[in-house]
Chains A and B, each alone.
Chain A
Amino acid sequence: MAGTWGRFNVVALALGFAFLYLPIVLLVIYSFNESRLVTVWAGFSTKWYVAMLNNRGLMDAAWVTARVAFLSATIATVFGTMAAVALTRYTRFRGRLLFSGIVFAPLVMPEVITGLSLLLLFVAINFDRGFATVTIAHITFSMCFVAVVVQSRLITFDKSLEEAALDLGATPVKAFFQVTLPVILPAVIAGWMLAFTLSLDDLVIASFTSGPGATTLPMKIYSQVRLGVTPEINAVSTVLIGVVTVGVIVASLVNKRQEVLRQREAEIG
Chain B
Amino acid sequence: MVRLFSMIGSRLVIAVPYLWLLVFFLVPFFIVFKISLSQTTIAMPPYLPVFGLEEGISGFIRNLRDLSFENYLWLFQDALYVNAYLSSLVIAAVSTLLTLLVGYPIAYGMARAPATLRPLLLMLIILPFWTSFLIRVYAWIGILKPEGLLNQFLFALGVIDEPLIILNTTSAVYIGIVYSYLPFMVLPLYAALEKMDYSLIEAAQDLGCPPLAAFWKITFPLSAPGVIAGCMLVFIPAVGEFVIPDLLGGSRTLMIGKTLWDEFFFNRDWPVSSAVAVVLLLILVVPIAYFQRAQARAREQES
Contacts and interface: CB of A to CB of B under 8 A. Distances in A.
Q: Which of A4, A111, A245 has the most CB of B within 10 A?
A: A111
A140 B264 CA distance: 22
6 contacts: A5-B112, A19-B102, A104-B295, A108-B237, A121-B31, A237-B132
Interface of B: 2, 5-6, 9-10, 12-14, 16-18, 20-22, 24-29, 31-32, 35, 45, 102-103, 105-106, 108-110, 112-115, 121, 123-128, 130-136, 138-143, 145, 147-149, 152, 179, 182, 186, 198, 232-233, 236-237, 239-243, 247, 257, 260-261, 264-265, 270, 273-274, 277, 280-281, 284, 288, 291-292, 295, 299, 302-303
A38 B302 CA distance: 50
B106 A38 contact: no
Contact of A245 (B20, B131, B134): B131
Contacts of B132: 197, 200-201, 218, 237, 240-241, 244
Given A23-B140, A173-B5, A12 B109 contact: yes
Q: Which of A93, A99, A204, A245 has the most CB of B within 10 A?
A: A204
Contact of A2 (B114, B145, B152, B270): B114
Interface in A98-138: 99, 101-106, 108-114, 116-118, 120-121, 123-124, 136-137
Contacts of B45: 123
Nearest to B16: A82
A79 B16 contact: yes
Contacts of A82: 12-14, 16-17
A59 B67 CA distance: 46
Given A30-B142, A229-B138, A16 B28 contact: no
B242 A117 contact: no
Contact of B139 (A27, A102, A103, A201): A27
Contacts of A168: none
Contacts, number: 250
Contact of A9 (B35, B108, B145, B240): B108
Contacts of B26: 102
The 8 nearest A-B residue pairs measured at CB: A110-B240, A117-B28, A12-B105, A16-B106, A9-B109, A83-B17, A23-B139, A13-B109
Interface string A214-249: 000010011001000100010001001100110010
Interface of A: 1-2, 4-6, 8-10, 12-13, 16-17, 19-21, 23-24, 26-27, 30, 38-39, 79-80, 82-83, 85-86, 89-90, 93, 95, 99, 101-106, 108-114, 116-118, 120-121, 123-124, 136-137, 139-140, 143-144, 147, 155, 171-173, 193-194, 197, 200-201, 203-204, 207-208, 218, 221-222, 225, 229, 233, 237, 240-241, 244-245, 248, 252
Contacts of A90: 10, 13-14
B134 A222 contact: yes
B142 A241 contact: no
A101 B198 CA distance: 36
Given A222-B134, A240-B131, A19 B260 contact: no
Contact of B179 (A4, A23, A123, A136): A23
Contact of A229 (B141, B260, B302): B141
A99 B236 contact: no
A112 B128 contact: no
B247 A225 contact: yes
A20 B182 contact: yes
A116 B6 contact: no
Given A23-B179, A82-B17, A120 B303 contact: no
Given A12-B108, A116-B260, A225-B141, A197 B130 contact: yes
Given A120-B274, A244-B130, 11 more contacts: A1-B115, A2-B114, A12-B105, A82-B17, A85-B13, A104-B295, A116-B273, A117-B277, A172-B6, A221-B134, A225-B141
B14 A86 contact: yes
